[in-house]
Amino acid sequence: MEQEKRHIVSHLMLERLVGIHKKIKSGTFPNTRQLAEEFNGGKGIATISRDIEFLRDRFGAPIEYDHGHRGYFYTSDFEMPLNAVSPDAMVSLFAAKIMLSRFKDSPFYDNACKTINLIANSDSNEKSEILRRIALSPSPMPACIIEENVWETILHSLRNNLKIEFDYNGRWNPNSTHRKIHPYQIVMDNGNYFLYGFSEERNETRLFSLARIKNPKTTEETFLLPEDFEFEKHCGGGRFGSFSYDEPDHYKIEFYENARQMLKDFVWADDQKIHDDERRNCTTIEFSSTQYLKIEEWILSQGCYAKPLEPQWLVDEWKAHIKGMMDLAKIK
């Protein structure tokens, strides 16, 4: 909890530093008492004095005290590195802010937006106009509902490498089970959030949807984070979202008609190979991945414009799904 407190204080200090800089730059010769009233609730003149020293020492701010005006001023033109961003960099920051709106329901969103606003001073009319020229399509998935105590408990466990316990309802199993996990990472995928970590019950790494975690509790037991803990290292080169399994498979899939161009517009896997067969009017992709569930969903989503060729178990499952849909279509 002490680490969380230091983080909040650091953010408040950043807000004060930016405010003090703007006030001094305005040429009004503010003194410590005035700055304390505006940025520190009228308290802590000593805090403001330390902030001014921080601006001098860390940012090289040319601040001097004018005894005639009884206040501070800049002896030469100065911009804080946080505000001295180029127009191109500013557009990138605003684009990042808009993309962050995907995560409005997470505790990361507000702090990240505050930081971007401080860096880019996004309250100006010019910058507001730029924001209107960048759009983000609605999320293809509805936002998941995650209890606030789940976020708080997991983030505390991640910061301190503490094991966590909770009750969990699996995707395919409605019955709640108790889990004890070494939390490695939070994985964000298509509107959902997952905890990736080592399950002591299963003796392997697993993904847990935060929306299905109940009664989380941080233990006092610590764990060692493995060197290869990053989730991305266990995806077998595929880029199909959060679900992955231990061993990668080799996939070969044919695409037809309009789906051929869509296939070429994206990188689906690190080792993908794409081949056009104009004689048969199709395009084939081959790649390796551990993410078979998402790959199967991807193929089915293409309807009659995609056909799996390898591995054989995927071909069999694809045919079974088609048969099931045909049986449903016969129902009156």
Summarize pLDDT for 107-119 with one digit per residue, the tens: 667 777 776 766 6
- Report how far apart, in Å, the C-alpha atoms of 283 and of each of 249, 273, 313 are: 20, 10, 21
User: What are phi and psi for residue 265, nearest 5 degrees?
Assistant: -80, -10
Report the mean per-residue pLDDT for the chain: 81
The pLDDT assigned to 10 comes to 53
SS3 234: helix
* Confidence bin at 146 (pLDDT 50/70/90): confident
Q: pLDDT tens across 72-123, in order?
A: 999 998 877 665 555 666 666 666 766 676 666 666 677 777 767 666 554 4
pLDDT score, position 308? 96
pLDDT band at residue 319 using 50, 70 and 90 as cut-offs: very high
Mean pLDDT of 115-138: 60
Q: What is the pLDDT of residues 204-229, one digit of tens each?
A: 888 898 989 999 999 999 999 888 88
Q: What is the mean pLDDT of residues 135-140?
A: 60
Nearest C-alpha neighbor of 27 from the set 83, 84, 82, 73: 73
Mean pLDDT, to the nearest integer, of 318-328? 92
Asked if the bond preceding 311 is cis, omega within 30° of 0, the reply is yes
- Winning range, highest mean pLDDT, from 26-40, 92-106, 183-197: 26-40
**In a 3-state reduction of DSSP, which class is residue 221?**
strand
Using the predicted structure, report yes or no on whether residue 302 has a pLDDT greater than 70: yes
234, 291 contact by CB (below 8 A):
no
Mean pLDDT for 126-140 is: 60
Average of per-residue pLDDT across 298-306: 94
Helix axes 2-25, 32-39, angle to 10 degrees: 130
Collapse the DSSP code of 140 into the 3-class scheme (helix H, G, I; strand E, B; otherwise coil) and give the result.
coil
**In the predicted structure, residue 39 carries a pLDDT above the cut 90:** no
pLDDT score of 164:
96
What is the structure's pLDDT at 285? 96
pLDDT band at 17 (very low <50, low <70, confident <90, very high): confident
Count Cβ atoms below 10 Å from residue 266 Cβ, excluding itself.
Answer: 8
Tell me how far apart the 2 most distant CA atoms of the chain are, in Å.
92
Rounded average pLDDT over 257-277: 92
pLDDT score recorded for residue 7? 36
The better pLDDT of the pair 15, 129 is held by 15
The residue ranking higher by pLDDT, 283 or 116, is: 283
